Amino acid sequence: MSQSDLCPSDLAPIALSCGEPAGVGPELAVKAAKLLAGAVPFFWIGDPRHLPSDALFEEIASPADALRIAPGALPVLRHDFAAEVRPGTPDLDNAQGVIDVIRRATALVQTGEASALCTAPIHKKVLKDGAGYAFPGHTEFLAHLGGVERVVMMLACTELRVVPVTIHIALKDVPEAFTPELLEDTIRITAADMERYWGYAHPRIAIAGLNPHAGEGGAMGTEEIDWMIPLIDRLKTQGFDLKGPMPPDTMFHGRARAGYDVALCAYHDQALIPIKTIDFSGGVNVTLGLPFIRTSPDHGTAFDIAGKGVADPSSLIAALKMAQDMAITARKAL
């Protein structure tokens, strides 16, 4: 078989961590398994007691069994939690289980028993209060587990890819955290993984200014003049295809988006508001710079609708498909 003939069943299945069990994660895993019917083989790691009562699932002894089970039911790698679950009402006693499942799923990807990690949403404050979780989200925890210092959060849908350069910090802390070193590392990691996983040899990277109107020549802030423009000019001479600093408010309309492959933004909401507005149901969160593949739906735990059967599985399905495509592209490049 040549590398170009690779198909999903040639890959190890994807590991899906359960996330916060009182959120929409469990029901979305069941829905995704039914709709995908084995087209993207994956297994769910969690407590079977947390699945909806009518869920079609089968426990597996090892990840490889998922390839056989996935066409007809959700393959479940059992992970017992401290408590049962009431959808919409998180139980702090289950917080440690959520963290342990992320760790276990990651280990399975690191050993090659899973081809990629897909994570269902966690509730950061529940994990902090219930188990002293010391990380702002998955992204930083996975960097720790992967043994890398710097990773990049990217959200992607068919019409847009965005990267928040600073991630889960208070807005007042952004100007200090948004440094030339961080922006340069983010550009390098983004460019490398755009090639590795999506085949862009020279991705066109747009960079948003920090300030309104990208500073308007220093009238509304000077970070653009002081260091952003010199950094961008220096990296251009090294072959990076960069554009910016661009005025953040005018870089996301349709014609502007056609001019770049990925937009780097100074802070969380500058990046996530446009993509969640354009495609909330199809957006995928992917971590770049890790020594393994990780994707996630773009939404959170949605406690307000958990257990009601109305949660939309589109973003989880897109995340599973993207993980599979990334694994195939990375394998072909070997």
Ligand X SMILES: NCC(=O)COP(=O)(O)O
Ligand Y SMILES: NC(=O)C1=CN([C@@H]2O[C@H](COP(=O)(O)OP(=O)(O)OC[C@H]3O[C@@H](n4cnc5c(N)ncnc54)[C@H](O)[C@@H]3O)[C@@H](O)[C@H]2O)C=CC1
24 binds, among ligand X, ligand Y, none (CB under 5 to 8 A by kind): ligand Y
Q: Which amino acid is at 15?
A: A
149 binds, among ligand Y, ligand X, none (CB under 5 to 8 A by kind): none
Residue whose Cβ sits closest to ligand X: 137
Residue 8 or 248 having the CB closest to ligand X:
248
Is 312 an interacting residue with respect to ligand Y (CB under 6 A)? yes
Span 263-292, contacts to ligand Y by CB under 6 A: 285
Residue 294: name the closest of 139, 188, 167 by CA: 139
Residue 13: name the closest of 77, 61, 67, 74 by CA: 67
Cβ 198 to ligand Y shortest distance, Å = 21
186 binds, among ligand Y, ligand X, none (CB under 5 to 8 A by kind): none
Residue 232 or 271 having the CB closest to ligand X:
271
Cβ 117 to ligand X shortest distance, Å = 11
Residue 334 burial (C-beta neighbours within 10 Å; 0-12, 13-18, 19+): exposed
311 binds, among ligand X, ligand Y, none (CB under 5 to 8 A by kind): ligand Y
Span 14-53, contacts to ligand Y by CB under 6 A: 24
Neighbour-count burial for 289-315, b at 16+ CB within 10 Å, e otherwise: bbebbbbbbbbebbbebbbeeebbbbb
| Angstrom distances, CA of residue 83 to CA of 50, 75, 307, 332 | 9, 21, 17, 43
Residue 100 or 241 having the CB closest to ligand X:
100
Residue 173 or 233 having the CB closest to ligand Y:
173
Task: State yes or no: 94 annotated in a binding site.
Answer: no
**Dihedral over alpha carbons 272, 312, 296, 161 (to 10 degrees):** -40
Residue 211 or 315 having the CB closest to ligand Y:
315
Which residues are CB-neighbours of 111 under 8 A, at least 6 positions away? Answer: none
301 binds, among ligand Y, ligand X, none (CB under 5 to 8 A by kind): ligand Y
Whole-number Å distance between alpha carbons of 301 and 299: 7
Residue 91 or 261 having the CB closest to ligand Y:
91
Cβ distance 13 to 66 under 8 Å? yes
Is 123 an interacting residue with respect to ligand Y (CB under 6 A)? yes
Residue whose Cβ sits closest to ligand Y: 300
Characterize the bridge pairing of strands 262-265 and 204-208: parallel
| Angstrom distances, CA of residue 204 to CA of 190, 236, 282 | 11, 11, 22
Q: List residues near ligand X by CB under 6 A.
A: 137-139, 272, 285, 296
Task: State yes or no: 139 annotated in a binding site.
Answer: yes
Residue 211 or 314 having the CB closest to ligand Y:
314
312 binds, among ligand X, ligand Y, none (CB under 5 to 8 A by kind): ligand Y
Query: 15: which DSSP letter?
Result: E
Q: Which amino acid is at 160?
A: L
Whole-number Å distance between alpha carbons of 108 and 226: 45
Is 304 an interacting residue with respect to ligand Y (CB under 6 A)? yes
Cβ distance 53 to 1 under 8 Å? no
Task: State yes or no: 50 annotated in a binding site.
Answer: no
Q: From the annotation, which residues make up the binding site for a divalent metal cation? A: 168, 213, 268
Q: From the annotation, which residues make up the binding site? A: 138-139, 168, 213, 268, 276, 285, 294
Sites of contact with ligand Y (CB under 6 A): 24, 121-124, 138, 285, 296, 299-302, 304-305, 311-312, 315
